[in-house]
Amino acid sequence: MGLYSLITGRRGPSGFGSATTAEEVTQGIDATHLTAIITGGAGGIGMETARVMAKRGVHVVIGARNIGAAENGKAEILRQNTNARVTLLHLDLSSVKSIRAFVRDFHALHLPLNLLINNAGVMFCPYQLSEDEIELQFATNHIGHFLLTNLLLDTMKTTAKTSGEEGVNITVNSVHPGLILTNLFQHTALLMRFLKFFSFYLWKNIPQGAATTCYVALHPTLKGVTGKYFADCNEVTPSKLARDETLAQKLWDFSVKLINSVSKKNYLGFEDTI
């Protein structure tokens, strides 16, 4: 899948392409047996992902920092589909304390966890430290999701075991949604509008932006597929840096160290077992 496919919307080997929407990739899928956490599901791509997944029957748990916005999103999902199962929990991914509280709140619901969609993110925000004194973008996008995933891993393993998905266990994939003008660009809104004017053919709308996430999460052809990277609903090769295992291990070790130091300082008792 290259620039030509992106511009023309030509479909790739999966049968889908850059112009495919989240509803199209999940057409006919019955996901009523699944529970998913979607971080940042109160707006943008996450909100559309939540809406479409709920439409396919998934019990969607939205982790949102802005509960007011999440309530509006939930109301809209329920307006379109009265049977939708949507639960809202507060989550600030830039705060170790908030992530731990979210995980406790989720466990209190006694739900299985089939899908964890690490979607929330910020970009180009002015330099700022999180409450844990970590640079805000790194704290939110990487450290927050790193901790959240590790804290939820046992629940996901238990779900995989009890749902009898033999040999499948847990799969992990990453996606690039494409270029979509959302709040993500709030710190560079003018520049982005200007750029979009000259490169309108490279941009997607939000339903197209949520397609790759929904495809990877729900499409039956991806059962058991792990460690892959997807864009425009097709597998693509990640960058050289992303394939550097030594660098990945360094980042893992650094992340554990950083979280441990924050947890120790705040008496949060993080166990160094990940």
Ligand X SMILES: NC(=O)c1ccc[n+]([C@@H]2O[C@H](COP(=O)([O-])OP(=O)(O)OC[C@H]3O[C@@H](n4cnc5c(N)ncnc54)[C@H](OP(=O)(O)O)[C@@H]3O)[C@@H](O)[C@H]2O)c1
Residues 50-69 binding ligand X (CB under 6 A) are 65-66, 69
Give the range of 29-37, 85-93, 105-113, 255-263 binding ligand X by CB under 6 A.
85-93
- The bridge status of strand 229-231 relative to strand 234-236 is antiparallel
Give the range of 19-27, 89-97, 194-202, 220-228 binding ligand X by CB under 6 A.
89-97
Instruction: Assess 120 for contact with ligand X (CB under 6 A).
Output: yes
Q: How far is the CB of 41 from ligand X (least distance, A)?
A: 7
Binding residue for ligand X, selected from 29, 31, 38, 40, defined by CB under 6 A: 40
Give the range of 121-129, 155-163, 220-228, 246-254 binding ligand X by CB under 6 A.
121-129
Is residue 168 within 8 A of residue 177, CB to CB? The reply is no
Binding residue for ligand X, selected from 20, 22, 36, 46, defined by CB under 6 A: 46
Instruction: Assess 152 for contact with ligand X (CB under 6 A).
Output: no
Task: Name the amino acid, one letter, at 137.
Answer: Q
Q: How far is the CB of 163 from ligand X (least distance, A)?
A: 28
Binding residue for ligand X, selected from 12, 17, 57, 177, defined by CB under 6 A: 177
Q: What angle do CA 228, 212, 142 make, to 5 degrees?
A: 65
Structure tokens at 264: 């120790």
242: phi > 0 → left, psi -120 to 50 → alpha, else beta; which? alpha
Residue nearest to ligand X (CB): 44
Distance in angstroms (rounded) separating the CA atoms of residues 120 and 37: 11
| CA distances to 33, 67, 146, 193 from 186, in Å | 37, 19, 25, 11
Size of the site for ligand X (CB under 6 A): 27
Binding residue for ligand X, selected from 38, 152, 184, 214, defined by CB under 6 A: 184
Instruction: Assess 91 for contact with ligand X (CB under 6 A).
Output: yes
Among residues 29 and 45, whose Cβ is nearest to ligand X?
45
Of 157, 171, 147, the closest CA to residue 113 belongs to: 157
Distance in angstroms (rounded) separating the CA atoms of residues 146 and 208: 26
Binding residue for ligand X, selected from 29, 45, 156, 218, defined by CB under 6 A: 45
Binding residue for ligand X, selected from 12, 44, 57, 207, defined by CB under 6 A: 44
Among residues 17 and 121, whose Cβ is nearest to ligand X?
121
232: phi > 0 → left, psi -120 to 50 → alpha, else beta; which? left
Structure tokens at 99: 């992530």
Distance in angstroms (rounded) separating the CA atoms of residues 182 and 87: 23
Kindly report the number of other CB atoms within 10 A of residue 150's CB atom: 17
Distance in angstroms (rounded) separating the CA atoms of residues 231 and 25: 13
Give the range of 36-44, 153-161, 166-174, 218-226 binding ligand X by CB under 6 A.
36-44
Instruction: Assess 42 for contact with ligand X (CB under 6 A).
Output: yes
- Residues in contact with ligand X by CB under 6 A are 39-40, 42-46, 65-66, 69, 91-94, 119-123, 140, 176-177, 179-180, 182-184
